[in-house]
Structure 1
Amino acid sequence: MHKVYLGIGGNIGNKQQNFEKVLELINKQLGKIILSSSIYETPPWGFHSDDPFWNQVLLIETILEAEELLWRINAIEDKFERKRGEERYSSRQMDIDILYFNDDYYETKTLIVPHPKIHERKFVLVPLAEIAPDYKHPLRRLTNLQMLENCRDDSIIKKVVFE
């Protein structure tokens, strides 16, 4: 079994329904969700939008290898009308990123693991540090909490509270 940290997020559509649906799809098609962070409201990163994102980090156990996992993630994102194109950052119903795959370093034309921008993004580091503060980045040799403390991203991250 592989242990994989996934970052999920979206900023358009019914965010609560989108998160409920994606969690169900992840459990059915990718692997068992072992841990999940709180959901955080965050500003867009890398582009402007008036719609804030919701972001969450999950730890899953899966039998899938990295490339097969990515292929299935893309299929799930397609169900949320994910458009892959010229714009690198844009509004979306749902985005799923592989953050860590075991303690492996993996680089192909389609996938780099660990995710190369983890250390730059508070919207990833805050939920990651919530569920895995002491997990060490396999290349940087810093814990998620240390990377959060060193992060230069000044975004305001707020926990989503459901009533």
Structure 2
Amino acid sequence: MNKVFLGIGGNIGDKHKNFKLALELIDHKLGKIIQKSSVYETPPWGFHCDDVFWNQVVVIETKLEAEELLWRIHELEADFGRERGNERYSSREMDIDILYFNDEFMESKDLIVPHPRIHERRFVLVPLVEIAPEMKHPLRRLTSIEMLENCLDKSVIKKVKMDE
């Protein structure tokens, strides 16, 4: 079984409904969710827009290998209307990133794991610290807490009250 950390986020549509559905689809199509952080409200990162994002980190156990997992993630994102284009950052109903795949490093045309910008993004680090504070990044050899302490992103991250 592979242990995978996923970052999920979105800023348009009914965010509450989208997150609930995304968690159901992840559990059904990608792997069993074994842990999840709180949901956090965060400003856009890398571009400007008026809609705030919601972000969360979930941990799954999956039999899928990394490339097939990525392919299924793209299918799941398409179910939310995501069209992959030239814009790197844009508003979307749901975005799912593979943050960690076991403690492996891999790099291909379509996938780099660990995610190359974990250490730059408070919207990933804050929920990651909540569920895996002492986990070490396999390349940087820093814990989640250490990466958050060193993060240059000073965005304000607020916990969202979710009714289960």
How many corresponding residue pairs? Answer: 163
Q: Which residue of 2 aligns with 1:158?
A: 158
Which 4+ stretches in 1 moved above 4 angstroms? none
Tell me by how many angstroms 1:83 deviates: 1.6
Q: State the AA in 2 paired with 1:128.
A: L
SS in 2 for 1:73: helix
Task: Give the TM-score, by structure 1 length.
Answer: 0.99
Q: Which residue of 2 aligns with 1:3?
A: 3
Q: Which residue of 2 aligns with 1:89?
A: 89
Q: Which residue of 1 aligns with 2:13?
A: 13
Task: Give the TM-score, by structure 2 length.
Answer: 0.98
**Alignment of 1:47 onto 2:34:** no
Q: Deviations over 1:26-81 (max 9, x none)?
A: 00000000000000000000000100000000010000000000000000000001
Tell me by how many angstroms 1:162 deviates: 3.2
Structure 1 residue runs of 5 or longer lacking an equivalent are none
Percentage of pairs with the same residue: 71
Name the CA distance, whole Å, in 1 between partners of 2:61 and 2:122. 24
Q: Which residue of 2 aligns with 1:108?
A: 108
Q: Which residue of 2 aligns with 1:33?
A: 33
SS in 1 for 2:13: coil
Q: State the AA in 1 paired with 2:3.
A: K
Q: Deviations over 1:64-120 (max 9, x none)?
A: 000000000000000001121111000000000000000000100000000000000
SS in 1 for 2:92: coil
Name the CA distance, whole Å, in 2 between partners of 1:106 and 1:129. 23
SS in 2 for 1:58: strand
SS in 2 for 1:5: strand
Tell me by how many angstroms 1:21 deviates: 0.5
Query: Does the 8 A contact of 2:2 with 2:102 survive in 1?
Result: yes
Query: Does the 8 A contact of 2:39 with 2:162 survive in 1?
Result: no
